[in-house]
Amino acid sequence: MSRVVIRECSDRFEAEMVRGLLETSGIAAMIEPDDVGAQRPSVGFASGIRVWIDEADAGAAHEALAAEAGERVVLRTLNSRHEADWVCELLRAGGIEATVVSDDCRAIDPALTFANGAHVLVGRADLERAEEILAAPVPDAGMEGGEKEEP
């Protein structure tokens, strides 16, 4: 059984997204990082991070990647999962499905988020509406109608 590189990515985040997509399509994938165990992400930019699959799965992998292309995009990269979760809730309240992707061991090690960021993903078709929602002023939760009283 021979392995081939299906995609060379610029960072671990992109490589994990590709691997996850392939694995949800039933295709076993492996990442060959060169970023010193995610401690030096800049090394990945220089050398690339490769996603490997079995050669026999190449056709199905290309189809899976083509079908998903353009479906989800990064709307914002934030400094904490807390911020990203808040943005997702704001978008969901506006009727937009949003997801947080963060390499912080499921919030066990929040310091990792400071290094890599917490990414808010939305569907490409929802991108413009999501930007409008985030650009709109958020009403003050403590005041009716969002207006503050004058002292």
pLDDT at 143: 54
3-state helix, strand, coil in the chain (%, to 5): 45, 25, 30
Residue 142 lies in a domain: no
Residue 22: CB atoms within 10 A of its CB come to 23
Q: Do both 94 and 62 map to the same domain?
A: no
- Domain boundary pick from 36, 53, 68: 68
**117: CATH:** 3.30.70
pLDDT at 44: 46
pLDDT at 45: 47
Residue 52 forms beta bridges with which residues? 5, 30
Residue 76 lies in a domain: yes
Cβ neighbours of residue 93 closer than 8 Å, sequence gap 6 or more:
none
For 10-33, the three-class secondary structure string (H helix, E strand, C coil) is CCHHHHHHHHHHHHHCCCCEEEEC
pLDDT at 134: 93
Domain limits for position 81? 72-135
Mean pLDDT by 10 residues, the chain (151 residues): 84 82 88 65 60 92 74 84 88 86 62 72 87 85 55 53
pLDDT at 71: 73
Rounded to 5°, the CA angle 62-63-65 comes to: 65
Residue 151 lies in a domain: no
Residue 146 lies in a domain: no
